[in-house]
Amino acid sequence: MEKKRKKALVKGNEAVAMGAIEAGCRFYFGYPITPQNEIPEYMSAHLPEVGGTFIQAESEIASINMLLGACSTGARAMTSSSSPGISLKQEGLSYMAGSEIPGVVVNMSRSGPGLGGISPSQGDYFQATRGGGHGDYRVLVLAPDSVQECYDLTMLAFDMSDKYTNPVLVLGDAMLGQMKEPLEFKKYQPKKFEKKWALTGAKGRKAQFLKSLYLDDGELTVHNWNLFAKYKRMKEDIRYEALFLDEARLVVVAFGSMARVLKSSVKMAQDEGLKVGLIRPITLFPYPAEFIRETSLQVKNFLAMELNTGQMVEDVRLSVEPGTQVDFFGLPPGSLPAPDVFLKEIKKVYPE
Amino acid sequence: MEKKRKKALVKGNEAVAMGAIEAGCRFYFGYPITPQNEIPEYMSAHLPEVGGTFIQAESEIASINMLLGACSTGARAMTSSSSPGISLKQEGLSYMAGSEIPGVVVNMSRSGPGLGGISPSQGDYFQATRGGGHGDYRVLVLAPDSVQECYDLTMLAFDMSDKYTNPVLVLGDAMLGQMKEPLEFKKYQPKKFEKKWALTGAKGRKAQFLKSLYLDDGELTVHNWNLFAKYKRMKEDIRYEALFLDEARLVVVAFGSMARVLKSSVKMAQDEGLKVGLIRPITLFPYPAEFIRETSLQVKNFLAMELNTGQMVEDVRLSVEPGTQVDFFGLPPGSLPAPDVFLKEIKKVYPE
Amino acid sequence: MYFDLIIAGFGGQGVMFIGNLLAHAAMLEDRKVTYMPVYGVEMRGGTANCTIVVSDEDIGSPNITNPIVSIVMNKPSLVKFGPRVKEDGLLLVNSSLIKPDEVEVKGPEIMMVPSIELAAEAGNDRLANMIFLGVLLGKTEVVSLETLKQALIETSGSTNEELLAINTRAIERGAAFGRTGS
Amino acid sequence: MYFDLIIAGFGGQGVMFIGNLLAHAAMLEDRKVTYMPVYGVEMRGGTANCTIVVSDEDIGSPNITNPIVSIVMNKPSLVKFGPRVKEDGLLLVNSSLIKPDEVEVKGPEIMMVPSIELAAEAGNDRLANMIFLGVLLGKTEVVSLETLKQALIETSGSTNEELLAINTRAIERGAAFGRTGS
Amino acid sequence: MKQVFKRPDCLVDIPFHFCPGCHHGIIHRVVAEVLDEFNLREKAIIAASVGCSVFMYDYFDMDVIEAPHGRAAAVATGVKRARPDNFVFTYQGDGDLAAIGTAEIIHAANRSEKVTVFFVNNTIYGMTGGQMAPTTMIGQLSTTTPRGRDPQEAGHPIHMAELLATLAGTAYSARVAVNNVKNLMKAKKATKQAVRAQLDKKGLGFVEYLSTCPTNWKMTPEKANRRIAEELIPIFPLGVFKEEQAPAEAGVG
Amino acid sequence: MKQVFKRPDCLVDIPFHFCPGCHHGIIHRVVAEVLDEFNLREKAIIAASVGCSVFMYDYFDMDVIEAPHGRAAAVATGVKRARPDNFVFTYQGDGDLAAIGTAEIIHAANRSEKVTVFFVNNTIYGMTGGQMAPTTMIGQLSTTTPRGRDPQEAGHPIHMAELLATLAGTAYSARVAVNNVKNLMKAKKATKQAVRAQLDKKGLGFVEYLSTCPTNWKMTPEKANRRIAEELIPIFPLGVFKEEQAPAEAGVG
Amino acid sequence: MPVTAIEPKGKVTFREDRCKGCGLCVMACPRKLIIVSSRLNNEGYHVAELVDPDRCNGCALCAEMCPDVVIEVWR
Amino acid sequence: MPVTAIEPKGKVTFREDRCKGCGLCVMACPRKLIIVSSRLNNEGYHVAELVDPDRCNGCALCAEMCPDVVIEVWR
Ligand SMILES: Cc1ncc(C[n+]2csc(CCOP(=O)(O)OP(=O)(O)O)c2C)c(N)n1
Ligand SMILES: Cc1ncc(C[n+]2csc(CCOP(=O)(O)OP(=O)(O)O)c2C)c(N)n1
Ligand code: SF4
Ligand code: SF4
Ligand code: SF4
Ligand code: SF4
Ligand code: SF4
Ligand code: SF4
Ligand SMILES: [Mg+2]
Ligand SMILES: [Mg+2]
């Protein structure tokens, strides 16, 4: 069944797990929560097959701290959860960023606030892109919009994480986690990362440590600027997808599941002769601000669309050239997003 | 010792605790962390005197959930912590906001990320103003810049919290928590809040509940829009302080401890004949965007100054009229902010 | 080629199973396909539905407001999804549980499918869902019967002849009903 | 009127105590005042310092880079704060622990205070900090001795005559030293 | 004829959403009957948890606060301290109480909180689809122990009733089952005692109910019910592990 | 003459920051001596915690990862699973381990993690300035129990060594003191056994050290040292609460 | 029937729309009076049914065991 | 001194800059040979001091109890 090997119909969650294992992830720590349970379930079944370890932790907090521990040794490891569970990981994330420890964290977000519901949502955008934890740190955020990207971007997440010795967040949602699509397997192309900082026991070298505590006068200031410089360097890995930008008179900006649904809406608009383009940021942090700015030199009307009451729209506003009109349409979670609904909204702001 | 009664030399932390008790706070749940320990310590000593209850919880997570429980009965209650501890409270905050339960949370923030240090910091601005927890919620944020305001704004926090049935965050930092100033006591003017939603046992009325779970199709969408409308309503309680705006050629925007230090710097600038004004947002959410916009109709140069690498500056940029120059100067935590340092930075961007 | 479909019913009626099977078959025919399940909170019982989109081009939204075809296996699903089927679409109704006069939908072609009875005819009354899959094959050409069988083997991961045979019988019975209306 | 001061030393030398006392006294004289303590991580030992600003107008920054006066009670504090004192300011050095040739600060007036010895003279060698407070009173007029005594009563919350007396003696001994240099 | 069995007054007259044969329904009813008996409907405030029992606010005709997953004991603490005259209880699953909520239940017990805790141990995460719980048996299959729980990798089934009995603030701790009427009667008795522990202000009252999850055990309700006696009780023995003597001024009931 | 006492090799030659007379220094040295004895310097990875012992990375000449407050047991789990051949241990205070880190230590023990845990019980939060800890004695004054700890309001002193001994995955659990040389020798022995539990892959090794905090107890070092024998040991009895028999293939040492 | 004559007589009712056909009542009835029938209710469950009402003594064991509070009992 | 004559002879050294004057060594020495002197070290602590070096038998009890590893012992 060669065919089966190259392609399979799987959920986004499974694709994340598959991508992780393919990228050399050998340790997974997690705690069940809908709608991402297929990730731990897949990991529990398949990690042992490759000599890896799966732990169902007692909580999300334990999970992120096990991740911190495993990754401090230079191992590739992952944790995943969904919104409430990700909130609980914020302290740990802040520690990892502050200690410059890599690690991949997946948020298949659900609807909030609070217990909320299990429908698709983009209410965690701020938390993801601006560091929901304390202090001035960032994590690189990758936002897939298909099952294939769940796989590809998870592999990428491990590389980015090692490249920047910083946690990387894969931000999907209930829709991406639960939907199935044919997935084409790809061989991971291993990159070499020297991990001199890894804790492996002080054999044949000096003892070393990983920490985020800086108490000497001015030391932490320097540390924060160093981190800041690193976050700036991440700009070289900005990714986005652009559709129908030529001749566009209105550019819709959206990410993840919302962008996926909007691909239909924008197509419908094009079919009706409306010049509507789409920019889909794939890295949410760093944000493709420069590309949006350049686009806004040509197109004066932007529409940010999100499954929330308005978060990413701030990044669009911060990106565009002065004088650009940026509208917003939000559909907070609780119902499934559908292309015809959005087409209507697009028409409302389409410039005459 | 009448005099002593009206005025006392106290720390910002003590002022917070005193303000809380004066405002009728009768339940406090917290977990020790520097630099805010004087709050739980004061509460443990003085709450019993007024028939209140102090609990040192087993963790910050337990604290926020005890707060959620106590406030769900309509009681006035508070928790406090500092940055890492506040990160741990994010899930609970999201639940409180989602369930529309009031409650006062104090963050005397310290330097991060991670364990960081115990110096003053404004690295938690994003977390405070954009909901560090999951989902699309906000908390009203009050940022004092003096011991007196630690007292006054904590009292206000209880009213705001009851008014909007929403958690309110008092955001100070190591400097405000630790410094002492003469505090003038004020009698709290009780406001009446009808708390029909309070859980007191279903006696003489129908049973009721407080929750954030909304599973019916579209139900959560409506709930989120209702919350959104409430957050918009909060604008009627926007507060800020403005200094030297007449004739200003450069407006510095800063909050909290940074603003406090800058009051000296701006004064020094004025003494040197530089027309430098200062806007100090007191509510960080909702942000005094409209006032800043109006100011930017007159003044074309703004300078946002923060004890971090750039967070509130985004709100300034989102507020001003197109064509306004917004510069940023950041001093990430790790050293104490001093007025002469900032004066130098002000001069660098002062328009010729 | 573009096709979309919503299948809905009680949890336990095998709604997800046939949706997944169909999507798998579409993949085997080298089409683009998305399959999107929606569960209620309950583990069992409650309602469940799934949306399948099949196309030769990249698929945008995996969620559809007005499907071309909908299969409704119980009353609540009829109420929710019946009215959403496209004017020129097709609505397959489980007449084993829904009476004709309960169907107030106007527009699409409506086919009442006595699925349980047909399944019993085919040898197992629990295969009502396979009957519907068959009807779909009889009424449309979204995938071939052969591919569907292949998909059945691959997704069940078993080559149990008997199991395969009985399922195939149910699909074929459904297909016949789809083609002939009886 | 505007005055500011940094006091620094080992934890345990009572740096914070006199800083707080001074601030309290300033409040009693109805001035605006800020007091800002900075501790090391250690509970005891390590270094500690505090900044006091007294003014008739609203006080902006409670933190000061270049104080008018600084009291340094140990060597590390001298190294850190000595050079920061204003050109026309005053640096009070604990000569019980620091030798004159270790003081390389240029600019402000420097006064070497044998605080432990003076404290011993006044009756208790642990009151070196009060000696410094006295010296400050002798050299400046930031608060009056009377108010300081009142502050001592209020902050200690005790009216223990003896305690008060010995502290007062130490302050007065310091003040005399401040005025006369011996 | 006299009605000898009817729906307890405390239970709203709507259907449960539980799967067929799930013991949650029985345990809900047992709790409701005892609350009826003590006449607590108007005094009770429930700290509901997240798990298959999340919809208690629909079923119990009482005030309910929804606690975040695992935190019901902390939420109940807040409620009880603010309203000491109300009757406050939690109802939590084994994932909720024995995994993520470990610290909260241990410290609520240690603080001797005057609350009652009903703990439903079905050796699995029901609501999220059958993952391993801290109480999952050695060798038991779950969606996250696809080869059976290996204690060296995934831990041992944790015994909460015994563990909490070691804490000074726990006034009552028992493990019961509802797999047959005999056990069910004992379960009611234990439930009453745990309620009394609060009413008498003795400390935290705790009952662990062994419960089925036919769906995630992948068993018929009948078989699941039998598993309680055959597999669970031998490992999780039934009994009272702690019972503080009533104080002199004795209590209600 | 032969040197009979010297600084252990594992300890970097810099001064401790601890307050005068604080037992943390003794316990650091005891741990270092045992690690020297087992020759573990090059194999060890420490999961340091947040508390007065936060600077272990300065003192121990070993690899150190700084865990967030309370989470050292989870961090150690991650490290050990990734590096099973390394020797992994935590060193945690009573606030860290018995309050905020309750769930993490209990589940690490329950999972039978092959890690060693050194637990310093000084009945107080040292680093943050003397607040109540879960182990604070009844009646003890602290900055958050200004009237003395009242068990009905603030809980009972929690007995971690006994509690963890009840868990199947704990291989060794003991409580020791270092207030005099006799106890100190027993402490060294327990420390060795807790190290062996990991080396022999038996399970989690746990030692609770009764410790002083002269500063926050507001006592002279001498008086604080005496308090151990007079007040603490009667409530926190010394002893070995669990010791798994070595497996047939016996272990190192 | 001399044996049943001295026994108390019972009556049970089933609220069929609530029944989920789990069969726990079947297991519980000491007299084996209950079966899960082939009848479906609105939710698609096979419902429980009393086969020999006259033999019921109203012991309520069935009701005690029903997770969905389907059964009421009189005696 | 016939008694001490048969005893092993010990030597202890104090690393004074590290001493914090806590006095635990004083408590530990069975022969009461150590005192906390009035001398201050650089950190401002009164340092421990051996008063009668000749009587030291090198038992190392003082060193075992020193929290700051100030003492080394030879025998
Ligand atoms: C913080 C957080 N983590 C995880 C979840 C997901 N979750 C919901 S219920 C549950 C566990 C359910 O198991 P249990 O407590 O045993 O209750 P049961 O359903 O078995 O009765 C989990 C993990 C959540 N809602 N919140
Ligand atoms: C999340 C979080 N909460 C609180 C703190 C503050 N904190 C630092 S150490 C500590 C407790 C110290 O007590 P203990 O663990 O007993 O160690 P000791 O200092 O007594 O040795 C606390 C509460 C923190 N750093 N992080
Ligand atoms: S999933 Fe299990 S525990 Fe939950 S309702 Fe169904 S049977 Fe009961
Ligand atoms: S505060 Fe207490 S525990 Fe911490 S170093 Fe000082 S004496 Fe030791
Ligand atoms: S009441 Fe008793 S005898 Fe009657 S049906 Fe129920 S269990 Fe059987
Ligand atoms: S126990 Fe109740 S739900 Fe189950 S079959 Fe009997 S009547 Fe129906
Ligand atoms: S070695 Fe023994 S005898 Fe010598 S000073 Fe130390 S304790 Fe006293
Ligand atoms: S025990 Fe050590 S630190 Fe303490 S006085 Fe003796 S030598 Fe000095
Ligand atoms: Mg469960
Ligand atoms: Mg401690």
Q: Is residue F41 part of a domain?
A: yes
- β-pairing, A301-306 vs A325-330, is parallel
Could you give the 3-state DSSP secondary structure of residue A329?
A: strand
Nearest Cα residue to F64 out of A101, A161, A62, H66: A101
CATH of the domain at G39: 3.30.70.20
Q: Look at chain H and report how many structural domains it folds into.
A: 1
Single-letter amino acid code for the residue at D129: N
Q: Is residue E4 part of a domain?
A: no
Owner of token pair 């609070």: A114
CATH value of A2-196+204-236 in 3.10.450.40, 2.10.109.10, 3.40.50.970, 2.80.10.50: 3.40.50.970
Could you give the 3-state DSSP secondary structure of residue A116?
A: strand
What fold, for B239-349?
Rossmann fold (3.40.50)
F184 is in which domain, residue-wise? 24-243
Q: Is residue F167 part of a domain?
A: yes
* Average pLDDT of span E154-159: 98
Is ipTM strictly over 0.90? yes
Spatial separation of the C-alpha atoms in residues C67 and C75, rounded to whole Å: 18
Q: Provide the pLDDT for residue H7.
A: 66
CATH 3.40.50.920 in chain B is located at: 239-349
Subunits with at least 3 CB pairs below 8 A relative to chain B? A, D, E, F
CA gyration radius, chain C:
15
Q: What is the pLDDT of residues B53-85, one digit of tens each?
A: 999 999 999 999 999 999 999 999 999 999 999
Q: Is the CB of E126 under 6 A from ligand 3?
A: yes
Residue of chain F whose alpha carbon sits nearest to that of B44: F144
Q: Is residue E44 part of a domain?
A: yes
Q: What is the pLDDT of residues A288-298, one digit of tens each?
A: 999 999 999 99
Single-letter amino acid code for the residue at A343: L
A209 touches chain F (CB under 8 A): yes
Do the Cβ atoms of F17 and D44 come within 8 Å? no
Q: Is residue G6 part of a domain?
A: no
CA angle at A90 for the pair A89 and A94, rounded to the nearest 5°: 120
* Three-state SS annotation for H15-49: CHHHCCCCCHHHHHCCCCCEEEEEEECCCCCEEEE
Which residue lies with its CA nearest to atom 7 of ligand 5? G29
Q: Is residue H20 part of a domain?
A: yes
CATH homologous superfamily of D2-180: Pyruvate-ferredoxin oxidoreductase, PFOR, domain III (3.40.920.10)
pLDDT surpasses 90 at B281: yes
Q: What is the pLDDT of residues B204-254, one digit of tens each?
A: 999 999 999 999 889 999 999 999 999 999 999 999 999 999 999 999 999
Q: Is the CB of E53 under 6 A from ligand 1?
A: yes
- β-pairing, E3-5 vs B301-306, is unpaired
Q: Provide the pLDDT for residue D12.
A: 82
Spatial separation of the C-alpha atoms in residues E156 and E149, rounded to whole Å: 8
For residue A135, the CA-to-ligand 2 centroid distance in Å is 19
* Average pLDDT of span F152-172: 98
Q: What is the pLDDT of residues B309-349, one digit of tens each?
A: 999 999 999 999 999 999 999 999 998 899 999 999 999 99
Spatial separation of the C-alpha atoms in residues G25 and G36, rounded to whole Å: 9
Q: Is the CB of E22 under 6 A from ligand 3?
A: yes
Residues of H in contact with D12 (CB under 8 A): 44
Cα–Cα separations (whole angstroms), residue D15 to D12, D18, D22, F229: 8, 6, 11, 35
Phi-psi region of A334 (alpha: psi -120 to 50; beta: other; left: phi over 0): left
Among B150-154, C19-23, F230-234, H40-44, the least confident range = H40-44
Q: Provide the pLDDT for residue D156.
A: 82
Per-residue pLDDT of chain C (182 residues; tens, 9 = 90+): 999 999 999 878 999 999 999 999 999 999 999 999 987 655 455 678 999 999 999 999 999 999 999 999 999 899 999 999 999 999 999 999 999 999 999 999 999 999 999 999 999 988 999 999 999 999 998 999 999 999 999 988 777 788 889 999 999 999 999 999 98
Could you give the 3-state DSSP secondary structure of residue D71?
A: strand
CATH 3.40.50.970 in chain A is located at: 2-196+204-236
User: What are the sequence ranges of the domains in chain C?
Assistant: 2-180
The reply to whether the predicted model has a pTM over 0.90 is: yes
- Residue E167 contacts residue E113 (beta carbons within 8 Å): no
Q: Provide the pLDDT for residue A136.
A: 94
- Residue E82 contacts residue B70 (beta carbons within 8 Å): yes
Q: Which of H27, H29, H72 to mutate to test the pocket of ligand 7 (most atoms within 8 A of CB)?
A: H29
G60 touches chain E (CB under 8 A): yes
The distance of F26 to chain B (nearest Cα, Å) reads 26
Q: Look at chain E and report how many structural domains it folds into.
A: 1
The residue ranges of chain A whose pLDDT is under 70 are 1-5
Strand order in the sheet with A283-285: A53-56, A27-30, A77-81, A103-109, A167-173, A140-142, A283-285
Q: What is the DSSP string of B166-217?
A: SEEEEEEEHHHHH-EEEEE-----PPP---TT--S-SSSS---EE--B--ST
Which residue lies with its CA nearest to atom 3 of ligand 7? H56
Residues 6+ away with beta carbon under 8 Å from F47 = A69, F64, F65, F67, F72, F73, F75, F76, F79, F88, F89, F90
pLDDT surpasses 80 at D157: no
Q: Is residue G5 part of a domain?
A: no
Predicted confidence band at E250 (pLDDT cuts at 50, 70, 90)? very low
For residue F25, the CA-to-ligand 4 centroid distance in Å is 10
pLDDT surpasses 50 at F252: no
H32 is in which domain, residue-wise? 11-74
Do the Cβ atoms of E215 and C46 come within 8 Å? no
Q: Which residue has the higher pLDDT, G7 or F135?
A: F135
What ligand 2 atom has the least distance to the C-alpha of B85? 1
Could you give the 3-state DSSP secondary structure of residue F31?
A: helix
- β-pairing, F116-121 vs F87-93, is parallel
Do the Cβ atoms of B224 and A334 come within 8 Å? yes
What mean pLDDT value characterizes chain F? 96
First-to-last alpha carbon distance for chain H, in angstroms, is 19
Hey, of H14, H18, H62, H69, which one would you mutate to test binding to chain F, going by the most F CBs within 10 A of its CB?
A: H69
Query: Burial, B305: exposed, middle or buried (Cβ in 10 Å; 0-12, 13-18, 19+)?
Result: buried
Spatial separation of the C-alpha atoms in residues E25 and E17, rounded to whole Å: 9
Spatial separation of the C-alpha atoms in residues F165 and F109, rounded to whole Å: 9
Instruction: Give 3-state DSSP helix, strand, coil % of chain D, rounded to 5.
Output: 45, 20, 35
Q: Provide the pLDDT for residue H3.
A: 45
